[in-house]
Structure 1
Amino acid sequence: MKAIIGAGRTSYDGWLSTQEDELNLLSIESWNKLFEPDSVDALLAEHVWEHLTYEEGIIAAKHCYAFLKPGGYIRCAVPDQNFRNEWYQQMVQVGGPGPADHPAASHKIVYDAKTFVQVFEAAGFEVSLLEYCDEQGDFHYTYWNEADGRIGRSFRFDTRNSTEGVGMVSIIIDAKKPLIIKSKIDDRND
């Protein structure tokens, strides 16, 4: 089982495309209607988490963790606070750049890579950064396989990027649920 969260018009063979009215990230009841705990192999969310507050993002990540199989993962992308491009920053700003029907109008946060990783680590995931800009605005890229979840607003797949320059980037992570869940051991001397 693989599912796209907040898919919009995105659909890929072998992936269940969901919309917010079908899967509310913050509602455990909504999750339970679609999935069994520990049953999902992979989740994909492109430009969804910025529509949640930081605290809601952690709740959503915890729900993802609960429904992913051990070894399962979520590939997730959000706008990057450290991308040095004025047009881009206006487009992704909290509250959006224009009318209430603009997609960014419901943005509640713009993440930097460190803060976005913290959201998923707080839920128990092991997180790998695939694409991001650092604090100096330098872009970093690690090859990732699109078969594991294609992100359109990425270095490789966004047509605004070229050999002349980068026009659109996202923070992209893979957050993996460990195969073995570490338990807290009571360290007592008996």
Structure 2
Amino acid sequence: MVLQEKEIKVVLGAGEYNNNPGWIHTQEDQLNLLDHSTWENSYNENSLSAILAEHVWEHLTYEEGIAAAKLCYMYLKTNGYIRCAVPDGFFRDDEYQNIIKIGGPGPKNHPAASHKIVHNYKTLSRMFESAGFEVNILEYCDINGIFHCKDWDGSQGVIFRSKKYDPRNQGERMVFPSLIVDAIKR
């Protein structure tokens, strides 16, 4: 009999949400994208099947984002992936862009106050590719602000702030889209 190896799926920066039952939900103090020791104390290299990060990577500079992607790469199995969602810098809506801008729109306790970058599909893809990943873009706005969406499977990680799951984005008008990619370790 062949034993099935357990899949380990981790949500980074889970907050109060539990959109992904069966996944391990973590906070920054448990798994820090810039602190290798928090990873080696919890997991073996090449042991994770999937990592989900919804609105996490915009809190890192571009260089920190590459370092974080390289750290995740070490802990993912071959064909493991990061499903990453960030605010979309190409979404054409002034109010949205004000909310997601670097440093945020208001008080220091606002979630966007610690934004260090506003990604678009080009910068986010390039960042993950430079860490060795193959990138599959799931939802994004192109340079002209036109929204594109591939059919993607929520059983592989639910992103709430998406066309697929966010009730604000149902119907004809997008209100709060995310740029969503799967970065796959080959």
Normalised to the residue count of structure 1, the TM-score between the two structures is 0.92
CA distance in 2 between partners of 1:115 and 1:141 (Å): 18
Aligned: 1:4 with 2:11: yes
**Aligned residue pairs, count:** 178
Q: Which amino acid aligns with 2:172?
A: E
Aligned counterpart, 1:139? 147
In 1, distance between residues paired with 2:134 and 2:17? Answer: 26
Cα shift readout 1:139-172 (whole Å, capped 9, x = no counterpart): 0100100000000000111111132311111110
Distance 1:164 1:71, change over 3 A: closer
Distance 1:69 1:56 in 2: 22
Following TM superposition, by how much is the alpha carbon of 1:10 offset from its aligned partner in structure 2, in angstroms?
2.1
Where 1:44 maps in the other structure, the secondary structure is strand
Structure 1's consecutive aligned runs of 4 or more residues displaced over 6 angstroms after TM superposition are: none
Q: What whole-Å deviation, never above 9, does each CA across 1:18-56 have from its counterpart, x for those lacking one?
A: 000111101111110111000000000000000000000
Aligned mate of 1:97, from 105, 108, 119: 105
Q: Give the share of equivalent positions with the same residue, in percent.
A: 54
Number of the residue aligned with 2:81? 73
Q: Which amino acid counterpart does residue 140 of structure 2 have in structure 1?
A: Y
- Structure 2 residue runs without a partner (length 5+): 1-7
Distance 1:79 1:131 in 2: 11
Could you say which residue in structure 2 is the equivalent of 1:149?
A: 157
| Larger radius of gyration between Structure 1 and Structure 2 | 1
* 1:5-44 matches, cutoff 5 A: 5-11=12-18, 12-44=20-52
Q: Distance in 2 between the 1:98 and 1:2 partners? A: 34
Q: Which is worse superposed, 39-48 or 25-34?
A: 25-34
Kindly provide the amino acid, as one letter, of the partner of residue 50 in structure 1: E
